[in-house]
Structure 1
Amino acid sequence: MEKFDVERNSHPRVRYQLTMKINKSPGPFDSAKGSMTYEIRNQSCVRPAPISGVRVSQSEYPEFEMKKIAEDTYVGDVYFDLLEGGDYYGLGVCYWRLQSVNINLMTKSNILRAGFSAKKIQDEQPRDLYFLLDDYEQGDRPKDNSAVPLNENNKKFLDEFFSVTFTGKRMF
């Protein structure tokens, strides 16, 4: 697949502040980092593959800072219009859509990952995701663990989890 330079919008306007509150964590986190997943929304601008004819879209993953504002709270800015469209394939302008947001919480030996769709940020409703308490534990080798939503299967084991609450707020 061809790689092309994607321009960033020099004046993005659709900004949401993402607040992440860590609830009942078994210990501190060293840092948190965020990334956004953008995909081309109009496939007609993408060149078809030579044999199959399938139009395979490119994705971009710009990172953003999650700033610690309290022992259990981080904030970061998520932009829905960070990437500018371009005519990358000579088939018309490709436009970008923010698909999802991913957050990595780091301890000395672990990376705990949480991800959700961009629509969840736009809803401006709190979203809780859960990590097993054991996922936090430090060991000799780094672990890589992902958050899960609460469901009927894991509800009965709630005392074995800690949660992270994400809330988006449109900033004008």
Structure 2
Amino acid sequence: MISLRTTAALAALSLSAYSAYGAAMNKPDVKLNPQPRMRYEITIKVDNAPGPFDRVEGVIDYRVSNENCVPLTPVTGATVAPEKRVPIVLTHSGGNVYKGEIYADLLQDEDYYGKGVCHWSVVAASANLYVKQVDFSAPLFHDDLLKGKPVTRYYSNRSYATTQMERVDTGETDRTQYQDEADATFSITVQAEEKHP
């Protein structure tokens, strides 16, 4: 779980530079919020998997939500909002359940480009369960995350058994999409629960 110590440790992470599809931009000095308050517990539950996973990881993606604070790129003339991916520290809570903590307001809102304050927003928190070269990815997007809504995705057992090629399997939200194989599936459920100070 992300503790205050872990949050402080994240400050030591190198915050990546951003580029606009090859066009150089000023590198924003992205800082962590010194007093994040929007804390959520992430729970990942796996049901009926046909075997173990080599590793279970989590990530949370942030993006600047108000693009008017970002200048146009010199080559394409497009606006490319800065993004940042941060790992979620997960702990095995027994059985098929993993838990971690995130902060929706982890990154500091700031005027990076002299065009007004850029506001960071959560895009999604994702569970990534690996079997050899396959990443079974289960994202929990912004609205569902903030509302505490559990989201379940289904994956084919056949996909679990076919691990020779590197790929990301995002599954289906409806088990019946697998038609005749609907019974030969497993699921990953991701939910966020707000934790008040």
| TM-score bucket of the superposed structures, by smaller chain | 0.7 to 0.9
Give me the whole-angstrom Cα distance separating, in 1, the residues matched to 2:102 and 2:75.
38
| Equivalent residue number for residue 110 of structure 2 | 86
- Residue 121 of structure 1, CA deviation: 1.7
Amino acid at match of 2:131: T
On the 8 A contact 1:109/1:138 being kept in 2, the answer is no
Per-residue CA deviation, residues 36-61 of structure 1 (Å, 9 max, x unaligned), is 11111111210112355432211111
Give me the whole-angstrom Cα distance separating, in 2, the residues matched to 1:140 and 1:152.
26
Q: Match for 1:77 among 80, 88, 101? A: 101
**Structure 1 portions without partners, runs of 5+:** none
| Equivalent residue number for residue 84 of structure 2 | 60
Per-residue CA deviation, residues 98-146 of structure 1 (Å, 9 max, x unaligned), is 1112221123443211113121122223221111112222645544322
Number of aligned residue pairs: 172
Q: Match for 2:191 among 162, 167, 172? A: 167
| Equivalent residue number for residue 29 of structure 1 | 53
Distance 1:169 1:46, change over 3 A: same
Instruction: Report sequence identity in percent.
Output: 28
Give me the whole-angstrom Cα distance separating, in 1, the residues matched to 2:152 and 2:179.
13
| Equivalent residue number for residue 134 of structure 1 | 158
SS state at 1:70 partner? coil
Runs (4 or more) in structure 1 with deviation over 6 Å come to none
On the 8 A contact 1:108/1:138 being kept in 2, the answer is no
Pairwise CA RMSD: 2.1
The answer to whether the aligner puts 1:43 opposite 2:67 as a matched pair is yes
**Structure 2 portions without partners, runs of 5+:** 1-18, 20-24
Give me the whole-angstrom Cα distance separating, in 2, the residues matched to 1:107 and 1:36.
21
Distance 1:139 1:107, change over 3 A: closer
Give me the whole-angstrom Cα distance separating, in 2, the residues matched to 1:136 and 1:151.
15
On the 8 A contact 1:15/1:79 being kept in 2, the answer is yes
